[in-house]
Amino acid sequence: MRGQHDHVGFRRCSDRRHATNASRVYGGRIRSSALGSAAASGGRCDRARGSRYNGIRSNRVEMSMTLDSVGIIGGCGHAGLPLGLSLAKAGHDVTLYDIDKRALAMLAEGRMPFQELGAEDVLARHLGKNLHVSNVPSVLTNKDVVVCIVGTPIDEYLNPQVQRLLSLVDELATHLNDQQLFVLRSTLYPGATARVHEQLSRVLPGIDVAFCPERIVQGNGLAEIGSLPQIVSGMTDSALVRARRLFESICKTVIELTPMEAELGKLFCNAWRYIAFGVANQFYSVCAENDIDYYRVRRAIVQDYPRMAGLPLAGFAAGPCLFKDTMQLSAFFPNDFPLGQSAMLVNEQMPRTVIRQLMRHTDIKNKTVGILGMAFKGDSDDVRDSLAFKLRKLLIVEGARPLCTDPFVQLPWLERLDEVLSEADLLVIAAPHQCYAELKPRQPIVDVWNLLRLGGLLQSGAPAEASSGRDSPAHRTGRK
Ligand SMILES: NC(=O)c1ccc[n+]([C@@H]2O[C@H](COP(=O)([O-])OP(=O)(O)OC[C@H]3O[C@@H](n4cnc5c(N)ncnc54)[C@H](O)[C@@H]3O)[C@@H](O)[C@H]2O)c1
């Protein structure tokens, strides 16, 4: 496999030599003296290794930025890969370590395993130079920094599965070394960073552990990593200094928190969005039950009224992050988080709300219902935790025959759009792909997202003039 080897002869820039006062457990914001020592160290590391980056040095290198060799556990994932590409673009030597053989093989051929804006160009420029892929954990051993960004799911009872992360860390510890910075980047249950630090320190005393959460929107990670502020935290002063330095090489702004604050902060970001979508979906349901068009009301109340500007569109709020992170927060606050739990009930109820809209119009038993879009958000190929699948199941329970289509998703049972449009008695837009925006279906349709600009009520087909204003595409596709 191309690019599968590691750069074994690569000369390590031992950051720990430069991060003085290193081993104190970090209990608050770092003092400026420690940051000063990190800044001073940057130049020394650069000079030590500058010549190794001939041809791939970015402006950042010339600006005396320290370049690390970085291994990324979960490097082929939706969050790990954009990070790896960003670091490679900045000149770091990056190895993407993953167990997903399909994704590894695609990357080794210069193909992206999923949609990510601008990623293929960066991949083409860096693959085999300072970007490598591997399924061999020993590639992590001689890295300056190891980033861990695997999924951190909840179980079937909505409990966080911290043990999975701890087991993975345990399994990989023999491939790490005590001079490394170990960066956790997945969304974590509060306290998980401390647990990982404790566990690693037992076998690798002195290893630096940091938590620097990913906050990108899926599909546009490359742009967002560079433009969004990066929260960094470390279990020790030296971990914080090293994490700050790593992310300063790719991010515009770096903000420090303690690990626990950072863990909660990341969960707050996702729970906030999930609750906001829950509010919109609750309003939508109130309207739909009363034959009122949510989008007419929404348009009126947000127009020139900044205090309502944050009211989202309704839609299938799903995906691999928002639901599970709201539930992690709930578990942390021992299941006493009614706002989050209510948002979950409302959001997860949306497929049922749509079915009720259809049923108010007609008996759906034995009817063919076309589901347009199976991804969890617009113009994405990602079906993880998509509510379109729940809609499909509920339709079957009601005796209807769902016919599903999605231009971005490959599944053997999906139909072509023209077939669905020709066969279906009823339609539902389940993912707001822009390619559906100009459809003029003959059958009744429910369009929760108002993609067709006909409003949130069931449309009886052969649409007349648009009744509701067009909402911004960013509002539509921004869920994750
Ligand atoms: N997807 C996003 O845009 C996004 C944004 C912010 C935060 N996050 C967080 O990032 C984390 C990862 O999410 P994701 O969407 O990238 O998930 P993902 O499933 O796309 O990626 C995880 C990767 O880890 C790999 N992996 C799993 N077990 C492994 C192992 N034992 N060794 C090596 N590799 C292994 C998988 O093969 C996969 O490629 C989650 O905690 C998520 O909440 C994701």
Q: Which atom of ligand 1 is nearest to the CA of 74?
A: 24
pTM to 2 decimals? 0.85
Q: Which residues contact 290 (CB under 8 A, 6 or more apart)?
A: none
What's the pLDDT at 461? 75
Beta pairing partners, 404: 371
| 36 or 458, which is more confident | 458
pLDDT in tens, 287-323: 999 999 999 999 999 999 999 999 999 999 999 999 9
Cβ-based burial of 415 (10 A; exposed 0-12, middle 13-18, buried ≥19): middle
Cα(79) to centroid of ligand 1, in Å? 6
DSSP 26-58: P-SSPPHHHHHHHHHHHHHHHHHHGGGGTTT--
Is the C-beta atom of 321 inside 6 A of ligand 1? yes
Same CATH fold, 266-477 and 15-257?
Answer: yes
Cα(7) to centroid of ligand 1, in Å? 24
Q: Ligand 1: which residue has its CA nearest to atom 18?
A: 77
Cα(25) to centroid of ligand 1, in Å? 28
pLDDT in tens, 424-463: 999 999 999 999 999 999 999 999 999 999 999 999 876 4
What's the pLDDT at 462? 62
Residue 470 confidence (pLDDT) above 70: no
Is the C-beta atom of 222 inside 6 A of ligand 1? no
Question: Using an 8 Å Cβ cutoff, are 211 and 183 in contact?
Answer: yes
Cβ-based burial of 31 (10 A; exposed 0-12, middle 13-18, buried ≥19): exposed
Cα(35) to centroid of ligand 1, in Å? 31
Is the C-beta atom of 104 inside 6 A of ligand 1? no
Residue 28 confidence (pLDDT) above 90: no
d(CA 432, CA 374): 10
Cα(80) to centroid of ligand 1, in Å? 7
d(CA 368, CA 32): 65
What's the pLDDT at 460? 87
Residue with structure tokens 């160290």?
41
Residues of the chain with pLDDT > 90, as a percent, come to: 80
Tokens of 473: 């595409």
Cα(98) to centroid of ligand 1, in Å? 10
Question: Using an 8 Å Cβ cutoff, are 162 and 189 in contact?
Answer: yes
DSSP conformation class of 8: T
DSSP conformation class of 306: G
Q: Where are the domains of the chain?
A: 15-257, 266-477
Is the C-beta atom of 41 inside 6 A of ligand 1? no
Question: Using an 8 Å Cβ cutoff, are 451 and 476 in contact?
Answer: yes
Residue 42 confidence (pLDDT) above 70: no
Question: Using an 8 Å Cβ cutoff, are 314 and 448 in contact?
Answer: yes
Residue 55 confidence (pLDDT) above 60: no
Q: What number of other Cβ atoms are within 10 A of residue 182's Cβ?
A: 30
Q: Which atom of ligand 1 is nearest to the CA of 221?
A: 3
What's the pLDDT at 33? 31
Is the C-beta atom of 218 inside 6 A of ligand 1? yes
For a mutational test of ligand 1's pocket, the pick from 83, 85, 97, 98, i.e. the residue with the most ligand atoms closer than 8 A to its C-beta, is 98
Cα(300) to centroid of ligand 1, in Å? 40
- Specify the pairing of strand 208-211 against strand 230-234: antiparallel
pLDDT in tens, 208-245: 999 999 999 999 999 999 999 999 999 999 999 999 99
CATH of domain 266-477: 3.40.50.720
CATH of domain 15-257: 3.40.50.720
Weakest mean pLDDT among 192-196, 411-415, 471-475: 471-475
